[in-house]
Amino acid sequence: MEEKNLTDEQKKFLEECENEFKDRYTEKEAEFMKIKNMELNRPPIIDPWYSKNGRYNNDRRRHFNKYSHHRHRPYP
């Protein structure tokens, strides 16, 4: 938004916001730095991550395929 199109009240509000949030997400903001410097947790490892019954997964894909009803029909 261009400042020349703002009313005096809007310009004052914009200046207040800029002053209030000038250090937002910088090294000067303690809360941000606390989160930024947190150590990341390792992701959970799920073993085995695949389905033991491979046919189930294939059947699910076939049922959601919009062309699956043509799969087992003989060609004309």
Average pLDDT over residues 35-58: 75
Mean pLDDT of the residues in the chain: 78
Q: What is the 3-state secondary structure (H, E, C) of the chain?
A: CCHHHCCHHHHHHHHHHHHHCCCCCCCCCHHHHHHHCCCCCCCCCCCCCCCCCHHHHHHHHHHHCCCHHHCCCCCC
Is 45 a residue whose pLDDT tops 70?
Answer: yes
Range among 2-6, 29-33, 42-46 with highest mean pLDDT value: 29-33
Confidence category of residue 55, pLDDT binned at 50, 70, 90 = low
